[in-house]
Amino acid sequence: MNVTVKDVAREAGVSVATVSRVLNGSDAVTEKSAQRVREAVVKLGYSPNFLGRNLRKRATNVILVIIPNADHSLYMKICAGMQACALRYGYDIITAVSNAATAVETRHLNMLFNKTVDGAVLMGTSFDAGTLNRLAEEYDIALCCEGVTGADVLTVTVDDERAGYDAADALIKLGHRRLGFIGVESNALSASLREEGFLRALGDHGIELPEEYIYRDTYDAVNGAKAMERFLALAEPPTAVFAVSDLIALSAVRRAAELGCMAGKDISVIGFDDIDACSLTTPSLSTVAQNCSEMSEVVCRKLIENIKSERKDRGYYTVEHRVMMRESTGVLNKK
Amino acid sequence: MNVTVKDVAREAGVSVATVSRVLNGSDAVTEKSAQRVREAVVKLGYSPNFLGRNLRKRATNVILVIIPNADHSLYMKICAGMQACALRYGYDIITAVSNAATAVETRHLNMLFNKTVDGAVLMGTSFDAGTLNRLAEEYDIALCCEGVTGADVLTVTVDDERAGYDAADALIKLGHRRLGFIGVESNALSASLREEGFLRALGDHGIELPEEYIYRDTYDAVNGAKAMERFLALAEPPTAVFAVSDLIALSAVRRAAELGCMAGKDISVIGFDDIDACSLTTPSLSTVAQNCSEMSEVVCRKLIENIKSERKDRGYYTVEHRVMMRESTGVLNKK
DNA sequence: GTGAAAGCGCTAACAC
DNA sequence: GTGTTAGCGCTTTCAC
Per-residue tens of pLDDT for chain A, all 335 residues: 689 999 999 999 999 999 999 999 887 899 999 999 999 999 999 999 999 999 999 999 999 999 998 878 899 899 989 999 999 999 999 999 998 899 999 999 999 999 999 999 999 999 999 999 999 999 999 999 999 999 999 999 999 999 999 999 999 999 999 999 999 988 789 999 999 999 999 999 999 999 999 999 887 888 999 999 999 999 999 999 999 999 999 999 999 999 999 999 999 999 999 998 899 888 999 999 999 999 999 999 999 999 999 999 999 999 999 999 999 999 997 65
Backbone angles phi, psi at A180, to 5 degrees: -100, 155
Chain B residues closer than 8 Å to A253 by CB? 282
Listed as own residue / partner, the contacts of B102-105 with beta carbons closer than 8 Å and 24 or more positions apart are B102/B126, B102/B127, B105/B66
* pLDDT at residue B69, as a whole number: 84
How far apart CA B331 and CA B323 sit, in angstroms, is 16
* pLDDT at residue A335, as a whole number: 55
Q: Say what the alpha-carbon torsion angle B303, B308, B309, B315 is, to the nearest 10 degrees.
A: 0
Contact of B26 with chain A, judged by CB distance below 8 Å, is answered with no
Residues in Cβ contact with A126 at an 8 Å cutoff, skipping those fewer than 6 apart: A68, A98, A100, A101, A102, A105
Chain B residues closer than 8 Å to A111 by CB? 50, 92
Distance from CA of B45 to the nearest CA of A (A): 10
| Closest-CA residue of chain A to B70 | A76
Listed as own residue / partner, the contacts of A313-316 with beta carbons closer than 8 Å and 24 or more positions apart are A313/A154, A314/A136, A314/A152, A314/A153, A314/A154, A315/A154, A315/A155, A316/A147, A316/A155, A316/A157
| CB contact (8 A) between residue B79 and residue A97 | yes
| Positions on chain D within 7 A of a protein C-beta | 1-5, 7-13
* pLDDT at residue A1, as a whole number: 66
**Angstrom distances, CA of residue A88 to CA of A54, A91, A112, A122:** 19, 7, 22, 21
Fold of the B160-290 domain: Rossmann fold (3.40.50)
| CB contact (8 A) between residue B80 and residue A94 | no
How far apart CA B42 and CA B33 sit, in angstroms, is 14
Contact of A221 with chain B, judged by CB distance below 8 Å, is answered with yes
Residue ranges per structural domain of chain A: 1-57, 59-157+291-319, 160-290
* pLDDT at residue A195, as a whole number: 96
Chain A residues closer than 8 Å to B49 by CB? 55, 114-115
Contact of B17 with chain A, judged by CB distance below 8 Å, is answered with no
pLDDT tens by residue, A131-187: 999 999 999 999 999 999 999 999 999 999 999 999 999 999 999 999 999 999 887
- B160-290 has the same fold as B59-157+291-319: yes
| Positions on chain C within 7 A of a protein C-beta | 1-5, 7-13
β-strands A287-290, A321-324 pairing: antiparallel
Rounded to an integer, the average pLDDT of B35-63 is: 97
CA to C1' distance (Å), from B16 to C4: 10
The DSSP 8-state label assigned to residue B92 in this structure reads E
Least trusted range by pLDDT, from B97-101, B207-211, B259-263:
B97-101
* pLDDT at residue A218, as a whole number: 83
CA to C1' distance (Å), from B14 to C3: 8
**Which residue places its CA closest to the C1' of nucleotide D12?**
B17
Q: In the predicted model, is pLDDT for residue B268 greater than 70? A: yes
Name the residue among A79, A247, A282 with its Cβ closest to that of B97: A79
* pLDDT at residue A282, as a whole number: 87
Secondary structure string (H, E, C) spanning chain A = CCCCHHHHHHHHCCCHHHHHHHHCCCCCCCHHHHHHHHHHHHHHCCCCCHHHHHHHHCCCCEEEEEECCCCCHHHHHHHHHHHHHHHHCCCEEEEEECCCCHHHHHHHHHHHHCCCCCEEEEECCCCCHHHHHHHHHHCEEEEECCCCCCCCCCEEEECHHHHHHHHHHHHHHCCCCCEEEEEECCCCHHHHHHHHHHHHHHHHCCCCCCHHHEEEECCCCHHHHHHHHHHHHCCCCCCEEEECCHHHHHHHHHHHHHCCCCECCCEEEECCECCHHHHCCCCCCEEEEECHHHHHHHHHHHHHHHHHCCCCCCCEEEECEEEECCCCCCCCCCC
Q: Please list, residue by residue across B17-37, b when 16 or more beta carbons sit within 10 angstroms of its beta carbon and e when fewer do.
A: ebbbbbbeeeeebeeebbebb
Write the CATH number of the domain with boundaries B1-57.
1.10.260.40
* pLDDT at residue A274, as a whole number: 95
Q: Say what the alpha-carbon torsion angle B199, B204, B209, B213 is, to the nearest 10 degrees.
A: -50
* pLDDT at residue A10, as a whole number: 95
**In this structure, is the CB of residue A76 within 7 Å of any atom belonging to strand D?**
no
β-strands B321-324, B287-290 pairing: antiparallel
Rounded to an integer, the average pLDDT of B294-312 is: 97
Backbone angles phi, psi at B301, to 5 degrees: -65, -45
Rounded to an integer, the average pLDDT of B12-37 is: 93
Q: Which of A281, A282, A285 has the most B C-beta neighbours within 10 Å, making it the best mutation to test the interface with B? A: A282
- Contact present, A331 and A171 (Cβ < 8 Å): no
* pLDDT at residue B71, as a whole number: 79
Q: In the predicted model, is pLDDT for residue B1 greater than 70? A: no
CA-wise closest residue to B164 among B290, B293, B254 = B290
Contact of B133 with chain A, judged by CB distance below 8 Å, is answered with no
| CB contact (8 A) between residue A55 and residue B76 | no
* pLDDT at residue B334, as a whole number: 64
Residue A113 Cα to chain centre, angstroms: 23
**pTM, to two decimals:** 0.93
Chain A residues closer than 8 Å to B99 by CB? 80
Rounded to an integer, the average pLDDT of B11-19 is: 96
Q: Where are the beta strands (DSSP E) in chain B?
A: 62-67, 92-97, 119-123, 140-144, 155-158, 179-184, 214-217, 240-243, 268-270, 287-290, 316-319, 321-324
pLDDT tens by residue, B221-234: 789 999 999 999 99
Contact of B262 with chain A, judged by CB distance below 8 Å, is answered with no
Q: Hey, which CATH number is domain B59-157+291-319, 3.30.450.20, 3.40.50.150, 3.40.50.2300, 1.10.8.60? A: 3.40.50.2300
| CB contact (8 A) between residue A251 and residue B280 | yes
Chain B residues closer than 8 Å to A83 by CB? 96-97
- Contact present, B281 and A282 (Cβ < 8 Å): yes
- Contact present, A249 and A271 (Cβ < 8 Å): yes
